[in-house]
Structure 1
């Protein structure tokens, strides 16, 4: 097939042209500029025309391509130095390209877009159905390009495919390539400076550039496709902390890792399910491999990545850079000196000429360098011109006569005045030009900053609007929900509270622990396996940061995003002793705020009030609930307790095991006294309606139960799992 690639030279363009060449296709390139440094490999024909030129239509008619690929987000003709100016040129050029291609009425057009078009909050993988919310000039420019292409696909029924690529990674062989990728920038900072800054709350789905090229080719080569929009992504999230950690491991030396965590959680992961289902997708290379290869290349070719004065540069390259910089500074002076020779010869010949004797070639010589280089070279050329003038005058007169001649000084003054004035004007114009460029750059940065501030303000505004509209988060709603706990018994309160916390805090992974005086936290109820990931028993002093927050009676917030800790936790004290510990595990980073912490405190206090009320009620009825002078619950109380755990286990909030205790020839109290010391505070002993003695092991599975049975056996007590047995 004849394939037209439209875009400036880039790593993606290079790999894509290589792939197409290997597959036997003929490649044409519309470069969009006349930059001689842009090098394209395996290209049959190259056209160096700007996209907005009328000749573009003639190029398309001449090539008549079967497939046209617009590099779009990966077009190096738009490097991002001046977003607004580039956006105008990009839009005009894209419209001309689309009109020229549509005039052929044949072939397929592929537009390469980027994950940059998504600028909002996306807690889960982003599918093609999710509408982009571009923030910033460049994202809006790319999204406008998508919309232009979609118009030709939907309204004109033309074969147009939009491919959104996630963040790409590849082995970086130059500083320019390193600066254009996330992994490359981190490697370059660590290699150059020995320090890397990162934001722990930022995560990306890094995709190997080779995998992206293979996916693009599948769309190029297919005869038909089902959709007009696909995401190309590995869909595997990597945080900036993971990237920096890997860079430190590969570099082989200690680097300073600076966590600049600011703002809310930022994670945009493109879902590749649509593309994978139709074309298939396989990850051939992961970021860890490219980081390792990039750093190896940087070590072997340090001169490409380090400045001349960098301490890591070897002595030979330092000498090389010193010599080249010195020669670069001397070139204008050498040029000045060399051009002095022909002007000296012309002046000597013109002196005796009837027609050219009035022409002052030295003045022209000084003016030439003053106009081109400015005052410095004008001064040097004036010195050379003076020396040449004096030398020529001494052909016919003595040196004393020349230096005492009034006309000599008039001529010298004329040369230097004219040269310095013109040179000063040149320097002034150059300074004004640089100042204007600097001012334009500064104002452009200011406009960009204002845009970023506006985007931030919009996010804050949206959050406040959500808080106003979403009345579920109001304190009145919290109180109404916790008031339902007043109808529950002590044990049931915690299971009901678990569901209530899930709803009010909008967090699916919640765990409640009971804490004793020795600071051992026992898992009481949990909503998921993730919520119980800290274990059934936690010794709080081993969790330093969590223990400090509990001791200070404040909400623990996991701002460092440590995986082994919950996102937020709060302990509810009773008579200056920790009693209840609430853990939230899947709270988004942007909601880890003082507002959320205060809400958790209110919920915890209201739960505590309900628990205290229930405990006082049960304490008042202790004579009716327990057999006299024993810890054995009567049948009615014990059946109510077992029923509460049975209901909670069906809702996957806890697990338990009910053991039947064998009582042979002894009364129940004597049997219970044998093993009471080995029980936990959360275990219960009682009778059921059948009159038999049972032991309720809370938050215990069959493995833990077998351990308890062995202990009972060692104390001379036989036991067996009841019929309902376990969760």
Structure 2
């Protein structure tokens, strides 16, 4: 299964990515790396350096059919530029919502915030509380919730919104309200004082980041939708935070300053709804959460200091920028000095017809464009006038000399024409370069997408060839289920489930028509003597849940009295049997294997449907006319499947026959009918004698069974020939 996490390199996003990866998902990330860091995600994944509002996101959705989208990308500071909030938090969300709806994403999870409540003091705040955000960030999140709800209403996209309280934990930066903990951690590790706005008695609902990731993962496969608070429902003051941190590291001192305008004094979110409906609860209290957070900050403190020092701009870099800005003026001035020297010395006497100033203007214009060429024109005009004055001309007379104006006009014309031509040429070159860069960037992006698609295709091919739980292998294994005899299907199911799920123990129980009783009809060798042969449903809550919900049961509590997993087997819309498994490796106790078990049980249900349909269609050929007694061909087929089950899985059975040879058809309705179970059979053997086949009944039960039949006036004995397979 595939999950896309926007903002996946960020503080919360990287923990969410970790959780999905541990559950066997293929993780994809879109992040513009404004605040996220690539080093936050260390496992194998697909990452795209893009903004969520970028149109290229569509190509990512098109190339990968995502099952779940977790939208965490946002501008997260409470006090910031409203326009930036709208671009990232609203336009970006709408883009991802559109693409999720277009490409049929199964679940969309949106990260909202407690900031939507504003200054509401009716604590603890429930989801029904009035929303009155006081910051652009809170407004954008409130609008985002509305978009999610409308997309579900209008387009059927399954959306869920979490209003986070103050999240803290490893990898957190020092921004946002939850960042107070990371700020404190950095300052105490740097042996600096702590600064508190207000008296420190203001409270917040701090929640550890791994609890947030757990809730998001649970929501991704649930059928829930709507808006949920995600919090601990516990208020914690800033002073209490400082006290707890002080127990981990000495605090140099605390300075209390004036409260910031707009700061909320108390904030606590009611989490009753998410706990009840999602079956989620926070695992980490504030003490344990701070301890884990401190451990991470302590480990990373040296790296953070190094990163902070590298952020400071060095003086040589600033000097280099200054030099780049003013160097053209310096070079222009040097060229003018050279021109003036050549024009005023005797060197030019032999070349009096050549005006060096025109060369100077032309060269500067070609090198630097119109700005420097105009400056060169001004300097050249000044030099020209100065030369005329040196020749004895009066300045006033120059104003009436048409030759002077003509020469100045030539300077201006050359300067403007050359400067404009060069500027236009440079603009064309720059535009072409930008177009080239954009095309190269798009080519690189599309080429990268192509390579990723090829990699995925190659990886899927390898899985089909090599993976023990690939569709290719599943298809090969489930070929065993291709039988039209239910008993054979049940016995084959044991092998199929053991092979696909790689478990030690498998058992199959049939369910009576009233859903009150279960009988074991097949099991693996490991279950021999361990599992009950029959069960009362009302004594096993796990079985009750499966029959009620019709879904796979997972023993999350690791209750020793219940199997690790139970899956129902359906026929005609009713649960006909259940499969139980035990002995699974701990690392396989995940949603992936839960889904795999569900797929396997559905394959078994499909096989049984075919088998039962065949039996119903051939009922007249299987039974002696007017009786429930199997003809010898049908009985022989069932008996052979029992022999194979005994050989492969040590599943016992007994074949009984009348001791005096007097058992007839009429005896079935009068004496036997009420004594047989749903899993037992009566039929004709090769000698056309009526015999009884008791499933899952061993020789240790033989005495009790024979006495029970004898009490009804039916003296029976065990057919020895069938026991030669023991």
Q: Answer yes or no: same fold by TM over 0.5.
A: no
TM class, shorter-chain normalised? 0.3 to 0.5
Q: Which TM-score applies when normalising by structure 1? A: 0.41
TM-score (norm 2): 0.42
